Amino acid sequence: MFDLGVSLTTALLLVLAAFAAGFVDAIAGGGGLITVPALLLAGLSPVSAVATNKLQGTFGVASSALTFWRAGRLEKHLILPLFGAAFCGGVLGALIAHLAPTAVLRLMIPFILIAIAIYVLMSPKLGDQDARPRMGIPAFTLSFGLGIGIYDGVFGPGAGTFYLIGLILACGLGMMRAIAHTKLMNLASNLGALIFFALAGHILVPLGLAMGAASATGAWLGARTALKFGGALVRPLVVLVSIGMALRLMLDPAHPVGQWIRTLFS
């Protein structure tokens, strides 16, 4: 029998969390908001939690990317440059993780997520139609694609949301075109980071595979839901997920806001 690294009851709860995360992540990103805290609560070390989450999350984004591909939403001329840039970013992010200013990232990212939520709320027609691109695909891959991929490899929360907003604002893609290609880029940077976590031996493989199967199922359902309801569903979920991730990060005891709240109520 496989050693899951946790009790059977805990593993079942983590599988349910992975299913919910896969569903949400396929639509608006932010599935790690559910699974990483769950893995930490299950007793995994921070490194093992992030590494195992990369394994299970890769199944989820692969499932949703495949669903969008089968629906004809992935454009062949965009696949290689977007995938390549995000994959290289994920590899670089994993390589430099020990050198990255994670304290600065933890401080800044919640406020960026809140800004994204406000922007989406103030732009109700965001992504309704394709718009004139502000930059070409080569420039996007070398800036947003590579940069967000590095961030995903180093830290991760909100990477899918950043890909989505970048594709809409910089490349002029409509909401459904953007979310389909976001899943492709998420898959790429996940795979890039996953390679190094696997080589370092930080992943609880049986647990990650069990969660991955549930995540893939949830992601398949989430992608089909997004295809059915379109931007009317994606936009409010982007807002909710962005605010949820921001609050989760700010309330962490390691974040200055979380420290201030603990001091206030101590």
Name the residue ranges covered by the structural domains of the chain. 8-265
Give pLDDT tens digits for 146-205. Answer: 999 998 887 777 788 889 999 999 999 988 899 999 999 999 999 998 988 888 887 899
- Write down the pLDDT at residue 180: 93
Percent of all residues in the chain with a pLDDT value above 90, rounded to a whole number: 41
Instruction: Output the six-digit token pair for 90.
Output: 């994920």
* Spatial distance between the Cα atoms of 76 and 172, rounded to a whole number of angstroms: 17
- Give the burial class of 7: count Cβ atoms within 10 A of its Cβ; 0-12 exposed, 13-18 middle, 19 or more buried: exposed
Question: Coil, strand or helix: which one is 111?
Answer: helix
Band the pLDDT of 1: cuts 50, 70, 90.
Answer: very low
> What pTM did the predictor assign?
0.83
Of 14, 19, 16, the C-alpha closest to 216 is 19
Residue in 110, 103, 151, 155 with CA at minimum distance from that of residue 251: 110
pLDDT number for residue 124: 66
The Cβ of residue 105 has, within 10 Å, a number of other Cβ atoms equal to: 16
Q: How many residues does the chain have?
A: 266
Question: E strand or H helix at 66, and its extent?
Answer: helix 46-70
Report which residue type is found at 226.
A
Closest Cα partner for 231 from 28, 17, 23?
28
Out of 28-42, 197-211, 251-265, the most confident range is 197-211
CB atoms within 10 A of CB 3: 9
Confidence of residue 247 (pLDDT cuts 50, 70, 90): confident
Q: How far apart are CA 81 and CA 50, in angstroms?
A: 27
49-106 pLDDT per residue, tens: 878 988 999 999 999 999 999 999 999 999 999 999 999 999 888 777 656 555 666 6
Place of tokens 């910089």: 170
Task: Give residue 127's pLDDT.
Answer: 66
**Residues contacting residue 11 through CB under 8 Å, at least 6 positions apart:** 4, 207, 210
Mean pLDDT of 19-36: 85
Of 82, 55, 56, the C-alpha closest to 68 is: 82
